[in-house]
Chains A and B, each alone.
Chain A
């Protein structure tokens, strides 16, 4: 199959057995790869109602048809599973080198099933699959373990690991790779931990068959040349995602003090420019990327001396603004702690900030935190909490469940400021004065995550007062951005340097021979959007629109300070956003896809489950 490794590798950890089957051509044609294929397989293979951290959950690791080929930034791999954070559909993708490597080994998809009897390594060396004890690596930090494994197995293995937080089943544990890339969201690190898989090592020596090799070379080079001459590329490479920090403050959307406000007075200390001048050592790319946003840093103070990839904007937002860290070095150190412990920095920053506010309000008491005085802006408080969380010790055991569960147990009005949707902590764009972005968060298929539809630029472009008319752009973005995730490419060249979309169906055509237009690809993206929605609806059973609501802070408390002072979207506004969105999507009043819509998309297999959910 041109453009594909050609095989699905299915690994049963319980019996240490593996089997390969050919990647079905229909699956590739209908869902392209990566996120698309993973979503369909997950829907088909996960028994409804299972425990995400139990034996029956699966992890689907999937590359795309562009992975490993001469295409700019073709390094994205998807990890999908039933999410322990939300209980619904979960996926998270990351860059690095592993998507390409698994394809060189011949695998488009790797499915992990069952549970290993002891901490284990899975070693995939082309056709040879081995299981080994991970006793030596268990308990080690994610990057330390990766370094050890590279030394033990060989530097040309690509390594996926979890940190101690994954081993301890922290609900926002991440999957780590390439010394600083993470599939951070939805807690898939905990699913690996529950399966007792410390690491997966992959090495591949093969090539990827191409429909038209000469045209792939020509088109691939054309795409690289277009990136090289792009005028926006330089600034993007200099500062990466951190370049956006001043702008998000200027528009008053920067998560600050557990989303209490949206402007951080000290944000000038955390900008990409400051970061570049003070801590960045090396620009670090994912596979095939001509404009690397990865910044590898060396952060030092009298308390620490660490190397870390980052901080990314999201980390700066959630550890920097949301926990009010005063220096970029402290943010980088917080980032380092999360990376080694194997915690998602977004949820990690969100949970710590939630705990700090609980402490300020007396909901978490001094005696529950070893007599400490916990404070915003204090790296020692941050370190204390993330280490407690990763070890599931004391208050950390409760916080390890995420803010939704922690607030439900702590009470005291903390639900109001438990900033999440569907159990996934909010990422780096506060949306009380950004209705399109608010809608994007509410309807994101994995919970409160920005990357499916970064609609905040649309808010700023068309005006942020108006509620009506925001849904079409959100839907458009929810189809474009996840399209990249199906292809196995990074969307950021398109987002950040305006790299044109027309390249993608063109390169896909010469790689695979599939003659899809951009509209065709976006239609597939819409199909996948309905499948992931249906997965969550099937899991939640009695679904209604309340699951799409933001926390009360966002619809009841006006922003107290900064450029967006006074703004918020009340419950009428929240419902108006959803009404418009559901109607345009062909979903009913509770947000469940209608039978007519599913028929139109050729997703008839979802109809019985959705009709059952509608009847509940």
Chain B
């Protein structure tokens, strides 16, 4: 699975953030989601979606090796994490999210819930889309 974005379709509803925080914390809390929606208003009237692309910059700078890659996904071991936020600084997309109640930053683990529940198809599985494209010839 690879997250693909079509920001022109995003309506800013925040359902992605809700299913993300519910999936990981069982809480309705967009501030505990591993992705962020930003509106650009009044002009040009579009939404931007910030979400992890699994580049691994976070793992490179983690001083305690709390972020490891498995099956193509970088995950944080929150027990190992010391809350230094070096990864937050290093993240080129600004998608290592800090919440005051959590020691470890909140990071996308590619669970796919945002893709499943985006009402607009603004967040989609790029791998699957590619497969469909190939199969269509």
Contacts from A to B (Cβ < 8 Å): 68-70, 97, 100, 104, 143-144, 147, 155-156, 178-180, 204-208, 210, 213-214, 216-217, 220-221, 224, 227-228, 281-292, 294, 296-298, 307-308
A288 is contacted by which of B18, B26, B45, B46 (Cβ under 8 Å)?
B18
27 sampled A-B residue pairs with Cβ under 8 A:
A69-B18, A70-B28, A104-B31, A144-B42, A155-B38, A178-B39, A179-B42, A205-B31, A205-B101, A207-B21, A207-B32, A208-B28, A217-B26, A220-B18, A220-B22, A224-B117, A224-B119, A228-B119, A282-B11, A282-B45, A287-B14, A289-B11, A291-B119, A296-B45, A307-B41, A307-B42, A308-B42
A69 with B44: CB separation less than 8 A: no
The CA-CA distance from A193 to B3 in the complex, in Å, is: 46
Assuming A206-B29, A207-B28, is B46 touching A282 (CB within 8 A)?
yes
B11 with A207: CB separation less than 8 A: no
Asked whether any CB of chain A lies closer than 8 Å to the CB of B85, the reply is: no
Contact with A along B14-37 (1 / 0, CB 8 A): 110011011101111111100000
Minimum CB–CB distance from B114 to chain A (whole Å) comes to 12
Minimum CB–CB distance from B29 to chain A (whole Å) comes to 4
A207 with B120: CB separation less than 8 A: no
Assuming A207-B32, A289-B11, is B26 touching A213 (CB within 8 A)?
yes
List 15 other contacts, CB 8 Å, given A143-B41, A147-B41, A155-B38.
A70-B19, A70-B28, A104-B29, A205-B29, A207-B21, A282-B46, A282-B47, A284-B11, A287-B13, A287-B14, A288-B18, A290-B15, A292-B11, A292-B13, A297-B45
B44 is contacted by which of A214, A307, A308 (Cβ under 8 Å)?
A307
Contacts from B to A (Cβ < 8 Å): 8-9, 11-15, 18-19, 21-23, 25-32, 38-39, 41-47, 99-101, 117, 119-120
Minimum CB–CB distance from B32 to chain A (whole Å) comes to 7
- Residues of chain B contacted by A307 (CB below 8 angstroms): 41-45
A205 with B99: CB separation less than 8 A: yes
Summed over the interface, the residue pairs from A and B with CB atoms below 8 Å come to a total of 107
The CA-CA distance from A224 to B30 in the complex, in Å, is: 17
Residue of A nearest to B11 (CB): A285
A281 with B46: CB separation less than 8 A: yes
The CA-CA distance from A362 to B114 in the complex, in Å, is: 61
B39 with A70: CB separation less than 8 A: no
A281 is contacted by which of B38, B45, B100 (Cβ under 8 Å)?
B45
B42 with A283: CB separation less than 8 A: no
